[in-house]
């Protein structure tokens, strides 16, 4: 999956390109979940 550069977007920018905004959000959530899981598993 290609990596999209970090993006700070406002409402109109997001609405202008919903698929790109959705992909950026998806990548961020996947990264957060991976980090969260690793942290939780390391605590046990």
* pLDDT per 10-residue tile (average), the chain, 44 residues: 57 84 90 94 86
Whole-Å CA distances, 35 to 6, 12, 15, 40: 17, 30, 29, 9
Look up the pTM and report it. Answer: 0.62
What's the confidence (pLDDT) of residue 39? Answer: 94
Tokens of 36: 């969260």
Whole-Å CA distances, 20 to 26, 37, 39, 41: 10, 26, 29, 32
Q: Alpha-carbon distance 14 to 39, whole Å? A: 31
- 3-state secondary structure at position 28: helix
Quick check: 7 and 25 in contact, CB under 8 A? no
């Amino acid at each position: 999956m290609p990596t999209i550069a970090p993006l700070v977007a406002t409402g109109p920018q997001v609405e202008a390109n919903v698929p790109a905004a959705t992909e950026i959000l998806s990548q961020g959530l996947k990264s957060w979940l991976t980090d969260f899981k690793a942290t939780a598993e390391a605590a046990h």
